[in-house]
């Protein structure tokens, strides 16, 4: 089998490595990939959003299967385009990817089908949004409807902050058309859990749960980032809560999408908050999370390609998906200054690896035969172990052996999870 993977981050590196465990896989192409992925796949500098070039590449190389992981190409309809030319894909079609692409759509879906989520109002003109804000209790969450690089949700502590967010999104259009409509949402309290799931549109099989660390600094302070580290499993996500989520959220969502004529096939990501009134959906993503994937896939004992093909064929079964009972931790090494200004171009020195260790490269390229930094989040240092405490310790032991000049990492990945275990 020859496989095409679209994307170029740490998540895609984890996907490529997991796919290659299948002995029938001969070749993996990755577009655009990165300097780290280039050790595991043949990379070509075609952007994940350049649909025309990707389709032309697929016409020429005729992959047996394609995996599309980033949100933009999914929402733009890359899966539809590839399926049209006869390339079977893992990933939702555009009409289902809208579950992430439009927060107004997903909120209306949840309201219509009684799926627990934060109360929210939708606005398509700034005047009525601003009038509504005067009547709200604070904090509220102001969200842009469309994709906004993960920055489209503002927690506003008071009226002034909420008004600023609405003006920036709807009038100044800081997220472009994504802010044409906004949601003003009830602020929920509780631990957050990420649950990725495989689905063929009918059957939904959750993966091991995980916990992201979105803020730049220790103690969950500093700016929001793409994610500074993850652990799996998430200790707040007990088997009892998992049962409730399956009945009230996972199955109802997959059925609702089918009912709406938008059958979702691929990885459906549930961003949940475990509130005192039960688990509620904060967001859906139409794809694998980054850096959740970097801790989830190393714990997958079954064959990823078999599962992905079953999702596409509509033959997914629960027993196809087995996870280890162990734990994993991913510590992200970033360029100091991320998510604001940072320097790149520093040579990365990678250590000898142990069997329980993985490095998934995100922002690095090859220059003069050397691996050098090229992005904010440079790579993820991942370790698996029997317990979460050991996984955290081992991930830091690996992270501390990786060197580049301006490396920055949080020192407390997993700390809150370990506290919850006690």
Residues 128-147: x/- map of binding to ligand AMP (CB under 6 A)?
-------------x-x----
C-alpha 37/C-alpha 16 separation (Å) is: 8
C-alpha 79/C-alpha 311 separation (Å) is: 13
> Quick one: 71 or 303, whose CB is closer to ligand GLY?
71
Instruction: Report what 101 binds from ligand AMP, ligand GLY, none; CB cut-off 5-8 Å by kind.
Output: none
Q: Does 357 bind ligand GLY (CB under 6 A)?
A: no
C-alpha 145/C-alpha 115 separation (Å) is: 19
Instruction: Report what 371 binds from ligand GLY, ligand AMP, none; CB cut-off 5-8 Å by kind.
Output: none
> Quick one: 224 or 306, whose CB is closer to ligand GLY?
224
C-alpha 367/C-alpha 348 separation (Å) is: 11
Contact call for residues 202 and 310 (beta carbons, < 8 A): no
Q: Does 100 bind ligand AMP (CB under 6 A)?
A: no
- Tokens read off for 374: 């090229």
Q: Does 115 bind ligand AMP (CB under 6 A)?
A: no
Q: Which residue sits closest to ligand AMP, CB atoms considered?
A: 153
Q: Does 152 bind ligand AMP (CB under 6 A)?
A: yes
C-alpha 314/C-alpha 240 separation (Å) is: 28
C-alpha 32/C-alpha 54 separation (Å) is: 10
> Which residues are registered as beta bridge partners of 373?
364
Instruction: Report what 187 binds from ligand AMP, ligand GLY, none; CB cut-off 5-8 Å by kind.
Output: ligand AMP
Q: Residues 10, 227, 375, 380: which binds ligand GLY (CB under 6 A)?
A: 227
Contact call for residues 225 and 214 (beta carbons, < 8 A): yes
Q: Residues 145, 283, 303, 358: which binds ligand AMP (CB under 6 A)?
A: 283
- Listed ranges 49-57, 152-160, 385-393, 410-418: which one lies at the site for ligand AMP (CB under 6 A): 152-160
Q: Does 282 bind ligand AMP (CB under 6 A)?
A: yes
- Tokens read off for 228: 């500074």
What's the CA angle centered on 297, arms 293 and 298, to 5 degrees? 120
Q: Does 208 bind ligand AMP (CB under 6 A)?
A: no
- Tokens read off for 27: 């070749």
- Listed ranges 40-48, 150-158, 323-331, 398-406: which one lies at the site for ligand AMP (CB under 6 A): 150-158
Helix, strand or coil for residue 98? helix
C-alpha 47/C-alpha 53 separation (Å) is: 8
- Listed ranges 82-90, 239-247, 285-293, 298-306: which one lies at the site for ligand GLY (CB under 6 A): 285-293
CB 186, min distance to ligand AMP, A: 6
**Main-chain dihedrals φ then ψ at residue 384, nearest 5 degrees:** -115, 150
Q: Residues 10, 271, 326, 339: which binds ligand AMP (CB under 6 A)?
A: 271
C-alpha 173/C-alpha 237 separation (Å) is: 37
- Tokens read off for 150: 């993960």
CB 24, min distance to ligand AMP, A: 36
Residue 361: closest CA among 27, 99, 111, 9:
9
Interacting residues of 166 by C-beta distance below 8 A, sequence separation 6+: 123, 126, 129, 130, 133, 142, 182, 184
Q: Does 212 bind ligand GLY (CB under 6 A)?
A: yes
CB 75, min distance to ligand GLY, A: 13
C-alpha 109/C-alpha 115 separation (Å) is: 8
Instruction: Report what 289 binds from ligand GLY, ligand AMP, none; CB cut-off 5-8 Å by kind.
Output: ligand GLY
- Tokens read off for 91: 């990933």
**Which H or E run includes 231?**
strand 229-232
Q: Residues 9, 266, 289, 375: which binds ligand GLY (CB under 6 A)?
A: 289
Going by their DSSP bridges, the two strands 221-224 and 278-285 should be labelled as unpaired
Q: Does 192 bind ligand AMP (CB under 6 A)?
A: yes
Interacting residues of 25 by C-beta distance below 8 A, sequence separation 6+: 1, 2, 3, 19, 305
Q: Residues 51, 75, 133, 188: which binds ligand AMP (CB under 6 A)?
A: 188
- Listed ranges 185-193, 294-302, 303-311, 354-362: which one lies at the site for ligand AMP (CB under 6 A): 185-193
Residues 216-255: x/- map of binding to ligand AMP (CB under 6 A)?
----------------------------------------
Q: Given the rule CB under 6 A, which residues bind ligand GLY?
A: 150, 212, 227, 285, 289-290, 292
Q: Given the rule CB under 6 A, which residues bind ligand AMP?
A: 118, 141, 143, 152-153, 155, 185-188, 192, 271, 282-283
């Amino acid at each position: 089998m020859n496989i095409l993977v679209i994307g170029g981050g740490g998540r895609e590196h984890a996907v490529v490595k997991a796919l290659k465990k299948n002995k029938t896989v001969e070749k993996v192409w990755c577009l655009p990939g990165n300097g780290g992925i280039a050790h595991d796949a043949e990379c070509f500098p075609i952007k994940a959003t350049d649909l025309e070039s990707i389709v032309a590449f697929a016409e020429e190389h005729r992959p047996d299967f394609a995996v599309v992981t980033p949100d933009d190409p999914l929402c733009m309809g890359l899966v539809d385009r590839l399926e049209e030319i006869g390339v079977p894909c893992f990933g939702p079609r555009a009409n289902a990817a809208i579950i992430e692409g439009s927060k107004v759509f997903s909120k209306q879906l949840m309201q219509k089908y009684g799926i627990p989520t934060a109360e929210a109002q939708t606005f398509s003109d700034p005047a009525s949004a601003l009038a509504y804000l005067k009547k709200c209790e604070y904090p509220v969450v102001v969200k842009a409807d469309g994709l906004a690089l993960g920055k489209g949700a503002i927690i506003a502590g008071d009226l002034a902050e909420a008004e600023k967010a609405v003006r920036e999104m709807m009038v100044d259009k800081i997220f472009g058309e994504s802010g044409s409509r906004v949601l003003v949402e009830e602020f929920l309290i509780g631990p957050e859990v990420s649950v990725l799931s495989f689905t063929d549109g009918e059957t939904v099989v959750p993966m091991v749960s995980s916990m992201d660390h979105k803020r730049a600094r220790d103690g969950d302070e500093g700016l929001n980032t793409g994610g500074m580290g993850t652990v799996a499993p998430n200790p707040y996500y007990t088997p009892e809560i998992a049962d409730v989520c399956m009945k009230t959220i996972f199955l109802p969502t997959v059925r609702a999408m089918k009912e709406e004529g938008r059958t979702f096939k691929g990885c459906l990501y549930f961003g949940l908050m475990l509130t005192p009134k039960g688990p509620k959906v904060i967001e859906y993503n139409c794809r694998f999370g980054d850096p959740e994937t970097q801790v989830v896939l190393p714990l997958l004992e079954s064959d990823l390609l078999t599962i992905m093909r079953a999702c596409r064929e509509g033959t997914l079964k629960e027993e196809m998906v087995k996870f280890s009972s162990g734990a994993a931790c991913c510590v992200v090494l970033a360029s100091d200054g991320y998510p604001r200004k940072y320097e790149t171009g520093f040579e990365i020195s990678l250590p000898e690896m142990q069997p329980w260790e993985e490095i998934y490269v995100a922002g690095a390229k090859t220059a003069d035969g050397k691996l050098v930094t090229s992005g904010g989040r440079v790579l993820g240092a991942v370790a698996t172990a029997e317990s979460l405490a050991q996984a955290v310790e081992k991930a830091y032991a690996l992270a501390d052996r990786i060197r580049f000049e301006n490396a920055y990492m949080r020192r407390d990945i997993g700390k809150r999870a370990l506290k919850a275990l006690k």
